[in-house]
Structures are given as C-alpha cells and as structure tokens.
Chains A and B, each alone.
Chain A
Amino acid sequence: AQSVTQPDIHITVSEGASLELRCNYSYGATPYLFWYVQSPGQGLQLLLKYFSGDTLVQGIKGFEAEFKRSQSSFNLRKPSVHWSDAAEYFCAVGAKEYGNKLVFGAGTILRVKS
C-alpha cells in the first residue's frame, strides 16, 4: 500500500535559522512528489513538485527539496526561515498508475520563534 511518513509532527525554529522537514514514502510505482503548505482554516498551496530530471527542485518562497530514490525521501529545506513561514506542511505522492490521486503525510506544523 502507498504511504507517506512525515516523522516530525511539530518543529520549532528561530527566525533566520535553516529548516529541514522530512518526508519518506512507500510506493509501488514511479512516484511524483509534492510539498504543499496550509495556513489555518485554508486550502493547500503548492510549494514545489518533482516529476523527473534534476533531483533538486526549487519552489516558491525560497523552498527547495531533494529527491533521493535510494532513501525513498523527499525532504523540504529552506536556508533562512521567516516568521510568515509558520504553517502546516504536507508531503504528498501521486502516480499515473493510481489515477494521480495524492496520498498525503500527516503533516508537520512549523512554529517560528522570534
């Protein structure tokens, strides 16, 4: 069965510090990987995606993620966090073979302290 694991439920970082959010997946097909961000009571905004090619992908708001096939991981990074980055972050996996429906992790809540 397809699954996505985000091991950290909550992460707190200081403003200006670097950030890494972890994502591991288990998938029976060639995965396509996404990171979405959700502010309280809102829908999901796409940060970045990986379909193929360069395994380091750049997204909006200064975020990047690296696909590591050998580790089944797709970790999200940002070199310097801003207070406005406080939100919940979701990793998701899809595949053409499964009708492109997304399987999401449980999310990581990011808190930024000043």
Chain B
Amino acid sequence: DTGVSQNPRHKITKRGQNVTFRCDPISEHNRLYWYRQTLGQGPEFLTYFQNEAQLEKSRLLSDRFSAERPKGSFSTLEIQRTEQGDSAMYLCASSRVRGVDTQYFGPGTRLTVL
C-alpha cells in the first residue's frame, strides 16, 4: 500500500492558462474523489469516479473543469482558462466500493493563479 499520490505538488500559473493535475489512487481502490480546499475552509467535494465512470459532479465544477479516469486507474483534473478564484489546494482521495468505506487522501496539489 503506497498511498495516494498527486502530481505536481505545487503549480503556479498565470490567469487564462490551462493546468492539469494527476492523481494515482491506492491500487485496489475502485473509487476516486476530487475535493477543493480554499484557505481557512474544509475540503469541498468536486466529483467522484467508480472505476472509469464519473458518477457525480458538484455544481462547484464549472464548465472550465473536467476530470477523467480513462482506465479506472489514475485520474486527471484539468482547469481551462484559469482564474484567480481557482487558487486552492486540490485533494484527491480513494476508497474501495464496500458500503461506506474510508477515503484516504493524497498530499494535494497547491494551485496559485497569478
């Protein structure tokens, strides 16, 4: 069990640029979640996958955001035309599909939009 990994750990970009983050879940976990955490707040749910199917998207996930999990393993989160309000920590978590199972979090990707 190597844990959830996320890359990059930090990303600084200029407003209007596109960015992509990657999450590698724990290998036997079927579910993968994305959350966003802004300063002074708890994480907020963005979207989740069961295997390769995206099952739910929060209304926080505007049209500029897209997430994929092409083969049911790693996932990517892309933000197009970044805005300063997108600056946040983006957290990925994974869990098994077994009733309610525990979500294990990665270290996060800190995005700063200048």
Contacts and interface: CB of A to CB of B under 8 A. Distances in A.
Given A42-B108, A43-B107, A107-B42, A101 B100 contact: no
Given A49-B102, A96-B99, A99-B55, A106 B41 contact: yes
A21 B75 CA distance: 34
Interface in B90-113: 91, 93, 95, 99-108, 110
Contacts of A107: 40-42
B24 to A, nearest CB: 13
B45 interface: yes
B16 to A, nearest CB: 26
B22 interface: no
Contacts, number: 62
Contacts of B4: 43
Interface string B18-49: 00000000000001010100001111110010
Contact of B45 (A4, A42, A51, A103): A103
A67 interface: no
Contacts of B91: 43-44
B21 to A, nearest CB: 13
Contacts of B105: 36, 43-45
Interface of A: 4, 32, 34, 36, 41-46, 49, 51, 90, 92, 94-96, 99-107
9 contacts: A43-B106, A43-B108, A44-B91, A46-B102, A96-B100, A101-B45, A101-B56, A102-B33, A102-B103
